[in-house]
Amino acid sequence: MSRANPGALDPLPANRGCRLCGAATRFSHTTYVRVGESVALYVCTSCGTGYRGGARGGDQQQAGRDARSGGRASRRPPVNEGPPANPVLDEDTARLLREALGE
């Protein structure tokens, strides 16, 4: 499959049908046009003709994320304790495993 320049592709028809053969189109992947801007690419299920969809993600998505978080990045507190307790292994089973592994 060759890479297509999204700017050179026709826009996706309103009915999402292929202009060449009339078959349905499906979402193929998202391609990045430039920093902060990406578009969806659609292909015909019959002939494989590519179409450019609408803008996706990028600055608009980041702006929405910033608005929801109040403009601050979410940070988790560091974990200062050791590994979590494993309720499946009791002390006897753990001892047997350590002996079997030679530890």
Domain boundaries, the chain: 1-71
CA distance 90 to 74: 36
Of 1-5, 31-35, 47-51, 93-97, least confident by mean pLDDT is 1-5
Stated pTM of the model: 0.50
pLDDT at 67 exceeding the cut of 80:
no
Distance CA 10, CA 47 (A): 15
Q: What is the pLDDT of residue 58?
A: 56
